[in-house]
Amino acid sequence: MHCRRICCWLLIILSLFGFMPHVCAQSTSGNDAGGTNEGTMFFRDTRWGMTPDEVKQAEPSATFTQIGSYWFMNEPVMIFEQYEASVIYCFFDDGLAVAVAEITKRHEQPTGYLADFEAIKALLTAEYGAANADDIYWLSPEYENDPEKALAANAVQYMTNFWLGDTVIELILGPSSQNGQNVVTVQYADAEIYADVF
């Protein structure tokens, strides 16, 4: 029952950003993205288990829109010092469990999204070392092994994740279920919850 509740909860979160059930995230050192503090991963100035009120205190300049257990920041923020992102904080049993950042930059050429994905992956790799998983999912056999055409058709999903103590960071490039267009999303997830679900 506990696992089923978590699965439903994460599917709802990820469907808001248009992804299938893989929790992902991002980080560098400093306030703009994330980093480590005595072995504990954080996103911006938050920590796993924080209450919504504690997260609001950690984001004093932000305003939020709440939808159930999901707190959407009303204004985009900068992550990695160069990418504007929309952020949602997700709570389970009133404790912070997932932070999601969707890169807001849009490209005329679909390969621009892959360039953003690769640049962010390089930043994560420089910070944390090699990824634990680095996968490509072809969503249509017609475009398999042709990234440019697959991106133009929104028919491929790139996923990279890093397991870092109490956090799983997952970077995703793929089509949004909201409009079918490519989007790059970086997510942090509490590793214990991630392990329960996946």
Domain that holds residue 148: 2-197
Q: What is the pTM of this model?
A: 0.79
* Cβ-proximal residues to 78 (8 Å cutoff; 6+ apart), any chain: 32, 84, 85
* DSSP 8-state assignment for residue 143: G
Work out how many domains the chain is built from and give that number. 1
Structure tokens at 106: 């849009």
User: Residue 118 has which token pair?
Assistant: 């690769």
Task: For residue range 49-99, list pLDDT tens digits in order.
Answer: 999 999 999 999 999 999 999 999 999 999 988 999 999 999 999 999 999
Give the whole-angstrom CA distance, residue 163 versus residue 24. 10
* 45 touches 59 (CB < 8 A): yes
Give the pLDDT of residue 90. 95
According to the model, what pLDDT value does residue 142 have? 93
